Amino acid sequence: MSLADLDLAIVPPPPPDLSLGIGAVGAGFIMADCHLPAYVDNGYRLAAIHSRTRSTAETVAARHGIAAVHDTLDQLLADPGVDIVDIAVPPDKQLAVIEAVCSAPRRVKGILAQKPLGANLTEAVRAVQACEEAGIPLGVNQNMRYDHGIRACKTLLERGLLGEPVLATIDMRAIPHWMPWQKEMGWCTLRIMSIHHMDTFRYLFGDPERVYASVRPDPRTKFAHDDGICLYVLEYEDGLRCASCDDVWAGPQREGCGEDKGIRWRVEGTRGMARGTIGWPDYPDGSPSTIDYTCLDEPGHWFSPRWELRWFHDAFAGPMGMLMTAVSRGEEPVISGRDNLMTMALVEAAYLSAEHHAAVCPHELLEDHGIAAPCACRHISGGASAAPNE
């Protein structure tokens, strides 16, 4: 079979039980324009919605065909049609919602939480512990793992077509729309954009031993922050290096210069290479993600499959489908809360690295929080073990 005919498995299998009812908490952009349209497209059952402002919830419910609108979270949790709670609230408000779900008299079957899983690693650990004590599976909406180009690259790696990974890079030039709560919390890129890229590196290659990060403010963003433009390197024990440039300045485009924005990634292995783009920065017009790949099995050829599926919003069905599958089978979610603690630790380690100008081991930060995470590197952080903003 030619590599041109290879099934890249860009779409995961559907969950076995589509009757599970989803209760949405939050009615902002990410819920109304990303989660819910993806769920409708894939036949997921939308049971109810609750938001801080009822009129907003009613508008979103009418748009997506959600029958029940609840004034309070307690009412949504008591709704017998709600099996899974899908949370889309600011990070510093998420832990309280998770704890409320876990302590409710009627136990739901699963929770899908946003990334970041709390305002810091301490809150993420508390969220995981609350769900485990309540016996409720917790999934995390790290949806870049379900971008179709990223999934295609994962297929190539799993089949050994790229050989041993040597170097992987992500280059993001984008101008996000910052949320009001980010101004209140004083952080921008690492916890909002870079967390996607760090988690994607984990999805493709596993957990790194250490991270080195350098940051500077974005000159366009007016509220006080440090992590505007972020550069970082993840170091793996086997020699693999993953590097990302997360540039939310992207030059004076909004001030009158020509436009050049996008997300480009590249993976180089001993037997092949893959490169791709992620079609988010041009949202809402949007464009499909892409992949091109070449390997020694068919020397001299680049293969460029294409599809119409996009990260926003098509990939957002993936994390919910993952959780629904886990609930149906009585298994741990693939992107579980406990697994996501390493992604959260990587983000915290990047903040510490930028502050102390030294490499930081994320495993040590997890151990500081009582989470066993053995690794080969020890005390490389120069004693900087206290996570920021905690």
Q: For 329-342, how does the pLDDT look when each residue is reduced to its tens digit (9 = 90+)?
A: 999 999 999 999 99
**Per-residue confidence (pLDDT) for residue 3, from 0 to 100:** 83
As a three-state string, the secondary structure of 360-388 is ECHHHHHHHCCCCCCCCCCCCCCCCCCCC
Average pLDDT over residues 25-38: 97
| Reported confidence tier of residue 27, pLDDT bands at 50, 70, 90 | very high
* Candidate from 221-225, 272-276, 345-349, 372-376 with smallest mean pLDDT: 372-376
Residue 390 has pLDDT above 50, yes or no: no
**Run of H or E residues at 265:** strand 262-269
Q: Give the C-alpha distances (Å, rounded to integers) separating 58 from 38, 93, 100, 171.
A: 19, 22, 23, 39
Pick from 68-82, 165-179, 190-204, 275-289: least confident: 275-289
- Cβ(267)–Cβ(274) under 8 Å? yes
Phi, psi (deg, nearest 5) at residue 385: -110, -10
Residue appearing with tokens 């957990």: 207
pLDDT at 282: 82
| Average pLDDT rounded to a whole number, residues 101-121 | 97
Could you give the CA distance from residue 234 to residue 205 in angstroms, rounded to a whole number?
Answer: 11
Q: How far apart are CA 149 and CA 62, in angstroms?
A: 33
First to last CA, the chain: 54
Mean pLDDT, residues 274-291 taken together: 90
CATH superfamily of 21-143+317-335: NAD(P)-binding Rossmann-like Domain (3.40.50.720)
Give the full edge-to-edge strand order of the sheet including 290-295: 210-216, 229-235, 241-247, 165-173, 262-269, 272-278, 290-295
- What value does the mean pLDDT take over residues 129-150? 98
Q: Assign 389 a pLDDT band (cuts: 50, 70, 90).
A: very low
Averaged pLDDT of the chain: 94
Chain segment 224-272, per-residue pLDDT in tens: 999 999 999 999 999 999 999 999 999 999 999 999 999 999 999 999 9
Contacts of 330 (CB under 8 A, 6+ apart): none
